[in-house]
Amino acid sequence: MRCERLEELLREQEADAVLMASPANIRYFSGFGGAESYVFFSGDRRVILTDSRYTLLAEQEGAGFQVLTISRERGYSVLLRELIHDGGVSRLGFEEETMSYGTVKRLQEGSGIPAENWIPIEEKLSALRRIKDPEELECLARAEQIGDEAFSYILTELRPGVTELEIAAKLEYFMRTHGAEDKSFDTIIASGFHSAMPHAVPTSKQLETGDFITMDFGCKYHGYCSDMTRTVVLGKANERQKEIYRIVSEAQQAALSGLRAGRTGAEVDRLARKLIGEAGYGEYFGHGLGHSVGLEIHEKPALSPSDATVLKPGMIETVEPGIYIPDFGGVRIEDMVVVTEEGCRNLTASPKELIEL
């Protein structure tokens, strides 16, 4: 089915073949999870181009794909030229955002196809991955479940004197030892004033009583990513912390209640943003409400003021409103959901009431 949709895209774009370089698209269409490789796909040729580090892996994972290994005498440009010549390819689709300018120039010069016949189709190619099939949804759900288990564990490790770096390491170790093959992005642990930075980098700062602690983390399971955020308070929350947490929680619930197929990402974003704005904190919510997730941690469509994409059943979205106040701290709550006709199915099971440790 995936290859059939790819063939249809090539016909729409009047391209004879496509050269893929992005790891996500390569894995999606071929099953091969190696790095620094290419996939050449045409109506009658399905080929993984790689080097000797990945030959055996490509042969194991790339069912139905021929594997060609580069050598000093026959590099990628030579192999591509041979495939183009043998297949009578005159128009080639390529991933213009993943591939560097220099790489594209070298391959164009070696391919025999003039630059004007290289067709940029990366966005349309990646769009074929937007609606997840049952197997993908199962992997995403398991990845998120590992995250839920990690959150339950890490609550037992939060105490004064432990550093943000230690918490990040403990989270990642737990996920690795409970079925994850990797983290899906750099773990965010932000305590105290650091929690006012949406993408704070963990530091040697020690946790202190009274701190907000925002933890944004995820893992990969069979290549598919999870993503969740929870904010807790170490000790008793003060009244302002409780107020901010309540507003973010209500904003998230408003978005979750209104998220369904047929709505646009901008419309769902507006549900949360309006509530935060009416509470007087609009200037402290600067990022989009969410994004899609799959083989990459940030995919399209997004829940943002600028995304007019109509949501469809089977799409994955994060819902993560936040309020971030400099010199005070911030709150973000994030769930990962599957879009359905009637609403959404939440893959994140961790509690969302304000936890005071």
CATH of the domain at 70: 3.40.350.10
User: Does residue 162 share a domain with residue 30?
Assistant: no
Q: How far is CA 307 from CA 165, 187, 259, 270, in A?
A: 35, 26, 14, 11
pLDDT, tens digit (0-9, with 9 covering 90-100), for 235-250 = 999 999 999 999 999 9
- ∠ CA 347-352-357, rounded to 5°: 130
Q: Are 322 and 217 in contact (CB under 8 A)?
A: no
Residue 351 lies in a domain: no
Decide: helix, strand or coil at residue 31: coil
User: Does residue 206 share a domain with residue 329?
Assistant: yes
Residue 18 lies in a domain: yes
User: Does residue 99 share a domain with residue 139?
Assistant: no
Q: In terms of residues, how long is the chain?
A: 357
Above 90 in pLDDT, residue 340?
yes
Residue 354 lies in a domain: no
User: Does residue 113 share a domain with residue 239?
Assistant: no
Residue 335 lies in a domain: yes
User: Does residue 141 share a domain with residue 56?
Assistant: no
Instruction: Give the number of domains in the chain.
Output: 2
Mean pLDDT of the chain: 97
User: Does residue 41 share a domain with residue 120?
Assistant: yes
pLDDT band at 43 (very low <50, low <70, confident <90, very high): confident
Q: Quick one: CA torsion of 160, 166, 171, 177, rounded to 10 degrees?
A: -130
Which amino acid is residue 82, in one-letter code? Answer: E
Residue 1: per-residue pLDDT: 83
Q: Chain centroid to CA 279: how far?
A: 30
User: How many other β-carbons are positioned within 10 Å of the β-carbon of residue 106?
Assistant: 14
User: Does residue 142 share a domain with residue 123?
Assistant: no
Q: Which of 69, 104, 127 is the C-terminal boundary of a domain?
A: 127
The parent domain of residue 92 ranges over: 2-127
Residue 357 lies in a domain: no
With 0.85 as the threshold, say if the pTM is over it: yes
User: Does residue 194 share a domain with residue 93?
Assistant: no
Decide: helix, strand or coil at residue 222: coil
User: Does residue 240 share a domain with residue 163?
Assistant: yes
H/E element holding 96? none
Residue 41 lies in a domain: yes
Residue 133: per-residue pLDDT: 97
- ∠ CA 34-36-38, rounded to 5°: 85
Q: Are 337 and 256 in contact (CB under 8 A)?
A: yes
pLDDT, tens digit (0-9, with 9 covering 90-100), for 83-115 = 999 999 999 999 999 999 999 999 999 998 999
Q: How far is CA 48 from CA 22, 113, 226, 287, in A?
A: 13, 20, 27, 38
Q: Which of 127, 150, 172 is the C-terminal boundary of a domain?
A: 127
Q: Are 48 and 37 in contact (CB under 8 A)?
A: yes
